[in-house]
Chain A
Amino acid sequence: MSAPAKAIEAPPTVAIPSAGVAEVTAPAVPFLEIEGLRSQQFIPAAKEALTSLLAERAHGKLIRPVFNWAGRNSLFPLHWGLACCAIEFASAFGARWDAERFGVVPRSSPRQCDLLIVNGTVTWKVAHKLITLYEQMPEPKWVIAMGNCATGGGPFRTAYSVVPGVDKLVPVDVYIAGCPPRPEALLDGILKLEELIRERQE
C-alpha cells in the first residue's frame, strides 16, 4: 500500500483519520442534564440504612433479577438506518423474522431507546451525530455494531471518509459479523446482548 496522505491535517469541525489522533467534535450536547443528580447526595445514606436493614442479598436475589429481566426483555432500538444493514434491520422487523416477538420495538426518539444498533458504515461526517444520539439515550444503554462496516470499516475501511469501527466513537457491547448480517444474525446478536444483561451486576 502506498504511503498515507500525510498532508492531511484536522480542520476544526471534522476528524481526519490519518493524523494518528482523530478528533470528533461532538457539538454541544449542552442541553443535556441528567436528572437525579440532585438526589444523589442523600441516596448513599438511604442506601446504607437499607443495606443494613434488608440486606444486600435480598436486593441481589429479588430486585436486581427482576429489573434485569425487564431490561433484557424490552430492548427498544433506535429507529435509525445508516446503510445496507439497515435494510436487513428492517427485514428483521418484517413478517418473517418479526423481532417484536422478543419485545424489540424501534422507537424514533433516542430518549425512549436503550439500544443503539449501528447498522451500516459510519463516516466521519456523521460521527458526531452518532455520538450525540448515543448521549441522548438515557442510561442504561447498549450498543450493537451490526455488520462489518460498523465493526471495522468493512469493505470501505481504506476510504478517506469512513470510521474504521464504531467502537472508536462509542462503547460497543455486541459485534455482529456479516456484510450485511442476515436478520437471524441480528436476532442472535440481540439475544447475546440479553445474556449480557442477565449477568449484569449493578
Chain B
Amino acid sequence: MWINMGPQHPMTHGLWNLRVKIEGEIVKEIDPEMGFLHRGIEKISEDRHYNEVITLMDRTCYVAGIAWEHLYIQAAEQALHVTPPARALWIRVLCEEMQRIASHVMWYAAFVQDLGLMSPFLYGMRDRDLLLDHFQSFTGGRLTYEYMRVGGVRNDLPPGTTDRMRKTLDWLMDRFVEYDRLCMGSEIFRKRCDDLGVLKANDCIAYGVTGPMLRSAGVRRDLRKDRPYAIYDQVDFDMAIADSADVTGRYLVRMEEMRQSVRILRQVVDWLDKHPGPVMAPNLPRWLGAPYAPVGREGYLLKRNYPKGVGLSAIEEPHGEANAYVVNEGGEHPYRVKFRSPVYVNLSAAHKYLVGYHVADIPPIMGSVDVCVGEVDR
C-alpha cells in the first residue's frame, strides 16, 4: 500500500512529500518528492546586486539564515577579491555559532515532538527565543537578518551585548542538562531511538551525507577543523563524534555540538571584548553599497575595472557541509550562483536509512536528519 506523507503532514516539517510503500507497518520502498518550495533562488540571484543576494540567503534556510549568509559572503568576497577586517570575521563566527545553537534547539524541539513528547517543543522554542533576542539586538531581525555584507558586517555589536551573551550562555548550558535528562534519561526514548535509521560510514561517504549524520557514524569530518575558515583555527573546541550511526548517535552529536558552540562563543565573546575595530573593509567600491564605504569617483572606476573571479566557499552549516560557488563576470550581479545544500544530499540517501523500519519510525528518523526544505528546494 502506497501512502503519501506530505506535502501537508505533521512529519514533514516543511513542504515535501514522502511516498512510502508499506506492508503492514514495515516500510518497503520510498520515493521522496521535492520541489514544492522551489523559489528559484539561484535564478533570482543572477538579477540581483551582490549585497541583495544576502536577503535571499536568509530565506534559503530559514532556521540557519545567518550561516547561509556566511556561506555566500565568503564565496562572494573571494570572487570579488575583498578581504574583511578581523573583527568582522569574529562577529561572523559569533553569528554562525549562535545560529547553530538556535538551529539545533529548533531541531530538538521538532524532533522530540515527533516522538510524541510535547513539552520539549515548548522548552526549545523558549530557549531559542533568547538567542533570537540577541540576534534582534544587533541585526534587527528574528529570522531573516540581512546582516553580513561583502567586506564585513553591517554594524558593530551594541554595547553590553557580550555581557548579556555570557548570561544567556550560562542559562543555556543548564538547559542542555535538562534536555538530556528528558531524553536520554527516558527508557522509552532510548527504546525508540537506538538502532534506528542506521546509516553506516561507508554509505554516508558514498551518498555524500555530511554533518551530524556523518559524525554520528564515527567519521571525523568537520569543516571547522579540517578546513578552518574565518577564524575557526584560532578558537579551541572539540569535534562531536558518536559511533552508533543511529538516531541516538545523531541526537548525541547535536547535543554535544551545542555545548561546543557555547565553548566557542565564550572565546569569541572574550576576543570581541578585547579587540575593538572596524567591521567593514576600507576602500570598498561604492556600488557594493557598504554603509561606511567612501563615496566618490573611484567607486565608479573600480566598478568598471573590477576583476573577474570565481568564489568557492564551504562552511559547516548546522545541518552539514554547505558549498557556494559564485561566478563573477564583472558587473554588479553575480553571473551564476550555485549552492550545495547538505539536507538535499542527506535526503537523497533516504532510501538507505528508511527502508525496513516501521511507519512509526519515519518521523523520528526524518526528524534526526533535520530537514529544512527551504535549503533543499532553494
Contacts and interface: CB of A to CB of B under 8 A. Distances in A.
Do A and B interact directly, with beta carbons closer than 8 Å?
yes
B59 interface: yes
B171 to A, nearest CB: 14
Contacts of A159: 39-40, 43-44
Interface in B109-126: 121-123, 125-126
Interface residues on A, range: 35 or more
A87 B63 contact: yes
A152 interface: no
Nearest to B10: A108
Interface string B37-75: 111110110010000000110110011000000000000
A81 B40 CA distance: 19
B34 to A, nearest CB: 10
Interface residues of B, number: 37
Interface of chain B: mostly helix, strand, loop or mixed: loop
A179 B126 CA distance: 21
Contact of A84 (B7, B13, B62, B122): B62
A81 B10 CA distance: 9
Contacts of B142: 88, 91, 182
A95 interface: yes
Given A84-B374, A126-B36, A94 B62 contact: no
A162 B40 contact: yes
A155 B59 contact: yes
Nearest to B38: A161
A83 B125 contact: no
Interface string B177-221: 000000000000000000000000000000000000000000000
A64 interface: no
Given A123-B36, A129-B7, A160-B43, A81 B13 contact: yes
A90 B125 contact: yes
A87 B10 contact: no
B192 to A, nearest CB: 20
Contacts of A165: none
A84 B121 CA distance: 18
B8 A96 contact: no
Given A110-B8, A129-B7, A155-B56, A87 B62 contact: yes
B323 interface: no
Interface in A88-116: 88, 90-91, 93-96, 108, 110
A161 B7 CA distance: 17
Given A95-B125, A180-B143, A129 B39 contact: no
21 contacts: A83-B373, A84-B62, A86-B62, A91-B125, A91-B129, A91-B142, A94-B121, A110-B8, A123-B36, A129-B7, A156-B40, A158-B44, A159-B39, A159-B40, A159-B44, A161-B39, A161-B40, A179-B144, A180-B62, A180-B143, A182-B142
Given A83-B62, A91-B142, A94-B128, 6 more contacts: A84-B62, A87-B143, A120-B37, A126-B36, A156-B40, A160-B40
